[in-house]
């Protein structure tokens, strides 16, 4: 596992629980708003954390944690991800996966082996804008396959979109909600401009107000039963 970061305690990354968050290096997307620029573009510049170090910490702190969140970068690019997560489960910890949903075959394997307790899938934008926002040519059929895979799955899950003015319009959010219709939870995340974003031009973008996003969320409930705001 190419582990480049470990947040030992997080109260926000695993809804309803206390977790440690593990960050892997490398991603197959270069989303313009991504604030983990080094993890995506230059992971080798960050210290490599051994799996031994991670497990030594988790073994000591397991009784204080509900689980781990594995994020990135993009975790599903790691070939040894399933084996790594199985070892974490042996510690009695729950596992949450943060993913961009471009590797449904990996997600399917994790579901079949009952490794995951929670999955969060980032939906970057409506299909016509997807590659522009994600910074790469995205195989949209893979993202759609992930959505289909999770729609009828009882696993705790959420789909989420960072609401970025200038890149996404109201109708774009409605289009995403329609695309994931039938899924149980859609989270609209506030955009927070940061110096570590991949695209520095976004620093000048003013975030939507909470009231505006709440209005958008209300309309999205036509397609998704639970629509939540985060980061406001």
What are the two backbone dihedrals, phi and then psi, of residue 17, each rounded to the nearest 5 degrees? Answer: -150, 175
Query: What number is the average pLDDT over the span 9-32?
Result: 97
Residue pair 81/108 in contact (Cβ under 8 Å)? The answer is: no
Model pLDDT, residue 200: 94
Residue pair 61/53 in contact (Cβ under 8 Å)? The answer is: no
What are the two backbone dihedrals, phi and then psi, of residue 3, each rounded to the nearest 5 degrees? Answer: -90, 125
pLDDT at position 203 over 90: yes
CA distances from 171 to 28, 123, 211 (A): 27, 15, 16
SS3 47: coil
Residue pair 161/124 in contact (Cβ under 8 Å)? The answer is: yes
Query: What number is the average pLDDT over the span 186-199?
Result: 95
Model pLDDT, residue 91: 97
CATH code assigned at 189: 3.20.20.70
**Model-level pTM?**
0.96
**In total, how many domains does the chain have?**
1
Query: What number is the average pLDDT over the span 160-183?
Result: 96
Instruction: Give me the domain span that covers residue 78.
Output: 3-230
Gyration radius from the chain CA atoms: 17
d(CA 121, CA 52): 28
Predicted confidence (pLDDT) per residue in 41-87, tens digit: 999 999 999 999 999 999 999 999 999 999 999 999 999 999 999 99
Model pLDDT, residue 152: 85
Instruction: Report the first-to-last Cα separation within the chain, whole angstroms.
Output: 33
Predicted confidence (pLDDT) per residue in 145-165, tens digit: 999 999 989 999 999 999 999
Predicted confidence (pLDDT) per residue in 80-136, tens digit: 999 999 999 999 999 999 999 999 999 999 999 999 999 999 999 999 999 999 999
Instruction: Say which residue the tokens 């696993």 belong to.
Output: 155
């Amino acid at each position: 596992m190419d582990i480049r970061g470990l947040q030992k305690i997080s109260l926000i990354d695993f809804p309803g629980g206390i977790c440690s968050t593990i960050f892997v290096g490398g991603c197959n997307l270069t989303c313009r708003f991504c604030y983990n620029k080094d993890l995506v573009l230059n992971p080798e510049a960050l210290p490599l954390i051994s799996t031994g170090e991670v497990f030594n910490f988790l073994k000591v702190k397991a009784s204080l944690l509900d689980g781990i969140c594995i994020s990135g970068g993009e975790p599903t690019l790691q070939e040894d991800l399933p084996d790594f997560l199985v070892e974490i489960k042996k510690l009695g910890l729950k596992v949450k996966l943060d993913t961009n949903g471009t590797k449904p075959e990996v997600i399917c394997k994790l579901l079949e082996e009952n490794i995951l307790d929670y999955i969060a899938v980032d939906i970057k934008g409506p299909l016509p804008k997807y590659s522009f926002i994600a910074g790469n040519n995205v195989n949209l059929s893979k993202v759609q396959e992930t959505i289909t895979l999770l729609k009828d799955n009882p696993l705790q899950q959420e789909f989420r979109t960072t609401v970025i003015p200038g890149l996404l319009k109201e109708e774009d959010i409605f289009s995403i909600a329609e695309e994931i219709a039938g899924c149980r939870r859609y989270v609209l995340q506030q955009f927070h401009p940061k110096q570590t974003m991949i695209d520095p031009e976004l620093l000048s973008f003013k975030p939507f107000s909470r009231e505006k996003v709440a209005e958008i969320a209300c309309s999205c409930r036509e397609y998704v039963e639970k629509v939540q705001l985060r980061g406001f």
